[in-house]
Amino acid sequence: MIKRCSFCGKLQDQVLRIIEGPGRLFICNECVNLCREMLREGTEKPNVLSGDVLFSLVPLPDGKHRKGSSQRRQDALQCSFCGKSQDDGVRLLAGSGGLFICSETVNLGCEILDFEEEERTIKNAQEMKRRQ
């Protein structure tokens, strides 16, 4: 099966890594990093290469619907990956095609990418040693 990032539309061989979510959702390492930067800086960032604005920050719910309020809004926007809404205390980013991703899922994606980066570094170091 061909994996394609559900947000920017890039194919598996156009990016370093595509992370698989539930329900045939995919996100690439570039989108994860873009989301991470947006969440950290709280500003919208266009994609460096294409200039497209792929994600926009969803405004926080107003005070009436603060975290812990007993009445959960039916219309609350939810993360397309894990189903959390901003009522659960996460920040949401709206992507293209009506998809959403939350700060927790972005962090998880970052962890996966960082872990694999480490593995690659270790592997490369081992290979270097072997060649010596």
Residues that bind Zn ion (CB under 5 A): 5, 7-8, 28, 31, 79, 81-82, 84, 102, 105
Long-range contacts of 88-91 (CB under 8 A, 24+ apart): 91/39, 91/57, 91/58, 91/60
CB of 78 to Zn ion, least distance (A): 8
**Based on CB atoms, which residue is closest to Zn ion, 39 or 79?**
79
In the bound state with Zn ion, the residue whose beta carbon lies nearer, of 73 and 89, is 89
The one-letter code for the residue type at 118 is: E
Least Å from the CB of residue 132 to Zn ion: 38
Give the shortest CB-127-to-Zn ion separation in angstroms. 29
| Token couple for 15 | 């990016």
Residue closest to 95 by CA, chosen among 111, 78, 109, 107: 78
